């Protein structure tokens, strides 16, 4: 009769031992399944460094996640400075990817935006950017008007 109690006690002990020894693995798997941000990535620092890249105004809709063990992915919307030439986007993207790789992220998808149009509905506090863009467009239209009116006088 004394040995009958030993079996369930040992079974419970082994179950608890398995639970404790696998807890880290289970919590890591759960973190991946819920698309949690990896603990070793400081997203605020990452965004700040991306915003330091020449021609980048703001970064929003940033998502960093673990795709598989040790393989990290990032997606983000990056608003380029409206004053920067649109043809220079390859250099901007290259610089952004270098920053991202320094943070240990292997896969990056960047949506490079040249206008804040549509961002106002995403509530990313970009009112000051919209005002800047409107001012740049006004100057561009004025410069275009002056150039055409000057060319019109020169031809006539």
What is the CATH classification number for the domain harbouring 108? Answer: 3.30.70.1350
Q: What's residue 151's pLDDT?
A: 53
User: Which tokens is 109 given?
Assistant: 């998808």
Is the domain of 82 the same as that of 144?
Answer: yes
Is the domain of 25 the same as that of 91?
Answer: no
Q: How far apart are CA 115 and CA 126, in angstroms?
A: 11
User: Which tokens is 74 given?
Assistant: 């990032």
**Burial call 131-153: b when 16+ CB within 10 Å, e when fewer:** ebbeeeeeeeeeeeeeeeeeeee
Is the domain of 25 the same as that of 82?
Answer: no
User: Which tokens is 100 given?
Assistant: 């991202």
CB-based contact 123:61 (threshold 8 Å) = no
Q: What's residue 127's pLDDT?
A: 45
Q: Which domain holds residue 13?
A: 1-34
Range list of H helices, 52-126: 89-102
User: Which tokens is 153 given?
Assistant: 């006088």
List the pLDDT tens digit at each of the 156 positions of the chain. Answer: 567 788 888 889 898 888 888 877 777 766 666 666 777 888 888 888 898 898 888 888 888 888 877 788 999 988 888 777 767 778 888 999 999 999 999 999 998 887 766 665 554 444 444 555 566 666 676 667 666 665 555 545
The number of distinct structural domains making up the chain is 2
Q: What's residue 43's pLDDT?
A: 84
């Amino acid at each position: 009769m004394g040995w009958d109690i030993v079996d369930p006690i040992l079974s419970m002990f082994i179950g608890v031992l398995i639970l404790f020894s696998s807890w880290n693995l289970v919590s890591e798997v759960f973190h991946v399944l819920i698309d949690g941000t990896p603990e070793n990535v400081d997203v605020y620092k990452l965004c700040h460094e991306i915003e330091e890249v020449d021609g980048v105004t703001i970064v929003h809709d940033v998502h960093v996640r673990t795709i598989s063990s040790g393989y990290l992915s990032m997606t983000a919307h990056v608003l380029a400075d409206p004053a920067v030439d649109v043809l220079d986007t390859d250099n901007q993207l290259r610089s952004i990817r270098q920053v991202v790789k320094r943070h240990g992220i292997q896969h990056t998808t960047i949506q490079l935006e040249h206008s804040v149009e549509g961002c106002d509905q995403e509530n990313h506090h970009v009112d000051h950017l919209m005002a800047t863009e409107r001012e740049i467009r006004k100057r561009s239209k004025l410069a275009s008007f002056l150039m055409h009116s000057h060319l019109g006088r020169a031809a006539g």
